[in-house]
Structure 1
Amino acid sequence: MSKAMGSRYSVETSKESREYFEYVKDLLDNEVVSEMKKFRHHYSTTCYQHCLNVSYYNYIVCKKLGLNAKAAARAGMLHDLFLYDWRDEPRKKGELPHGFTHPRIALENAKEHFELGKVEEDMIIKHMWPLTVKLPKYAESYVIVMIDKYAAMLEFGVHCKNVLSNTVSNIKHKKAA
């Protein structure tokens, strides 16, 4: 069962998420997309979970704004389809850091495996704006820029909660011993 962090709804089974799930089901079932489960992204969050978080909240916001919610859901799930742990990859001399380069890699991978529309392409390649320099072309692209940052903060918050919880548990355990 998949669930976006902070959401109480399963993306597969809840009636609230039915339309969203229909838009991304083929992506969630795809072997290449599932590969993202192997790579850590923000702290203990996998790249797959991060993309699911971005996809789900991107869909919700774009739907509420009357924008292309289907493109938002699909681009969100593919926006970090780079398939490596960026912490382990040595940078070549003169190469820009991961934050600047991975949108292009994700777009290339997404185009290789899926049919994308212009809005989806722009959302994937521009999701790191202003690092990507070129302005997003569509309103949906601006939304994913914000949602990606929101998801990263949410993931950091979950990480902090887990660290704090473990610390408190260890202190209690030491006092009891």
Structure 2
Amino acid sequence: MDEDQLLAEYKVCLEGLLEHEQVLKLDLHTQHCNTSRLQHSINVSYYSFLICYKMGWDYHSAARAGLLHDLYFYDWRVKKYIRSSHSSWHPRIALLNAQKITKLNKVEMDAIRKHMWPCTLIPPRYIESYVVTFVDKICAVCEFAERSYAEAAKKVVRRFRRGFVS
């Protein structure tokens, strides 16, 4: 399958979800640094889809779970009581919110509910859930690193300019 066909198949997996009002609201919330929660969720969804597709696993469920895994609408950085329990609490909220907008299968529910493992005690049950979990971690690191690299590059440029301009 070529890249265009993969993208078309990915869109089929998310039919009706990417246009849903609740999913689009994720764009109003910051997830990691300069990445919106919607962009983060799309990142997790697409890379989970690709991995599961290439491995012959349930890529449909991985794509949907990846998109819905952070479907919550509060800023955990603001309220102190939420910060301490955010890693265990938000997957439950995301699952409840996802169930309000679409019917989920057991793989999708497991992946959403357990995507914060190993911060939470119970590990995922399905291979697709593990994929979503680890892709989520990789995307978070990349989203943080992107900002760090940009900030580091700006510092280097400023230092060079100071060195060359008296």
Distance in 2 (CA, whole Å) between partners of 1:25 and 1:171 is 49
Q: State the identity as a percent.
A: 39
Deviation larger for 112-121 or 18-27? 18-27
| CA RMSD across the alignment | 1.9
- Tell me whether 1:168 sits opposite 2:156 in the alignment: yes
Which sections of structure 1, spanning at least 5 residues, go unmatched? 1-8
Deviation larger for 111-120 or 153-162? 153-162
CA drift at 1:167: 2.0
CA drift at 1:176: 4.4
Residue matched to 2:144: 156
Q: Give a deviation string over 1:138-159, Cα, whole Å, max 9, x none.
A: 1111111111111111112211
Match of 2:34 among 23, 36, 44: 44
Match of 2:64 among 60, 65, 74: 74
Counterpart residue type for residue 130 of structure 2? Y
Residue matched to 1:26: 16
Distance in 1 (CA, whole Å) between partners of 2:79 and 2:8 is 38
Please, what TM-score do these two structures have when normalized by structure 2?
Answer: 0.89
CA drift at 1:173: 4.9
Counterpart residue type for residue 42 of structure 2? L
Going from structure 1 to structure 2, the CA distance change for 1:73 and 1:168 (only over 3 Å counts) comes to same
Counterpart residue type for residue 167 of structure 1? K
Deviation larger for 121-130 or 148-157? 148-157
Which sections of structure 2, spanning at least 5 residues, go unmatched? none
Residue matched to 1:115: 103
Match of 2:87 among 71, 84, 99: 99
- Bigger fraction of residues in helix: 2
CA drift at 1:33: 0.6
Q: Secondary structure at the match of 1:41?
A: strand
Distance in 2 (CA, whole Å) between partners of 1:137 and 1:54 is 18
Give the paired residue count.
Answer: 163
Please, what TM-score do these two structures have when normalized by structure 1?
Answer: 0.83
Distance in 1 (CA, whole Å) between partners of 2:157 and 2:17 is 38
Match of 2:128 among 133, 140, 152: 140
Counterpart residue type for residue 134 of structure 2? M
